[in-house]
Amino acid sequence: MDFVHHKESNGQPYKMLTAMNEYTRQALSVHVGTKLGSVEVLEVFYPLIIKHGKPAHIRSDNSPEFVSELYLPWLKRVGIEPIDIYPEAQWEN
């Protein structure tokens, strides 16, 4: 999962939360919003688990939403191993 940051023509910032199958490169979800925190990440992720099954791991960047006190414990509770990318290796996104 990853965030893409952008601005509308009027300067209003928004984020796009993207979820992709790392093996097949299939785009599973794109969720757009002006405020996307850890709660919204989990609200997007949970239906994906129901539809596609639980992944063994999930790779994400080091955005606050992906390292929060809500997100990481939830992943561990459901048995998903978080994998972070290195800040210098944005090509991994």
pLDDT of residue 80: 94
Whether residue 36 contacts residue 15, with contact meaning beta carbons closer than 8 Å, is answered with: yes
pLDDT tens digit sequence for 50-64: 999 999 999 988 888
Number of domains in the chain: 1
Q: How far is the first Cα of the chain from the last one, in angstroms, to the nearest whole number?
A: 8
pLDDT of residue 87: 64
Residues of the chain with pLDDT under 70: 86-93
29 is in which domain, residue-wise?
A: 2-92
Can you give the CATH number for the domain in which 75 is found? Answer: 3.30.420.10
| The two three-digit tokens of residue 59, written as one number | 């790779």
pLDDT of residue 89: 54
Residues whose CB falls within 8 Å of the CB of residue 19, separated by 6 or more in sequence, listed in order:
1, 27, 28, 29, 30, 44, 45, 48
